[in-house]
Amino acid sequence: MITCVGSLTHYNIRFANQQTGTSDKGYFEILSLCGTLSVSGAHLHISIADMEGKTIGGHLLDGCTIYTTAEIVIGESKDLIFTRENDDITQWKELQVKSNK
C-alpha cells in the first residue's frame, strides 16, 4: 500500500492490544492507509480524523463505508513475493517476503 486519502461515513477499526474492533458513524477524513497486501491476506492500518480534527487510528477491519471517495495507490513488485504464514511464536499469520528470482 503506497497511500490513500478520502472520506468515510462509518469506520470499523481495532485499536492496539484490543480483542475487538470499534466502530462509529459520522463524517471522517482518511489521513493515511498503510500496510501490505498479498494473495494470502492483508495487514492494513488506517488513520482518520473527525469533523473537529481529532485523529484516531488502528488496524483496518471490514465494514468501513466510503463517503465521497477513497483514492488508493497500490504498488507491485515483480522481484518480491509477499505471503502471510503462521508464526510459531506469535500465533498470527505474519508477513514473509521472498525473492521471486
State how far the Cα of 29 lies from the Cα of 65, in Å rounded to an integer.
12
pTM of the model: 0.82
Q: What is the SS3 assignment for 76?
A: coil
- Tell me which fold the domain 3-76 belongs to: 60s Ribosomal Protein L30; Chain: A; (3.30.1330)
Name the residue among 50, 39, 35 with its Cα closest to residue 4: 35
Domain boundaries, the chain: 3-76
**Mean pLDDT of the 72-89 span:** 88
pLDDT, tens only, 2-45: 999 999 999 999 999 999 999 999 999 999 999 988 888 889 99
Residue 82: pLDDT above 90? no
pLDDT, tens only, 51-73: 999 999 999 999 999 999 999 99
| Antiparallel, parallel or unpaired: β 80-86 and 93-99 | antiparallel
pLDDT reported for residue 23: 97
Contacts of the segment 85-93: beta carbons below 8 A, 24+ positions apart: 85/40, 93/40, 93/41
Contacts with 12 (C-beta within 8 Å, 6 or more apart), sequence order: 21, 22, 23, 60, 61, 62, 63, 64
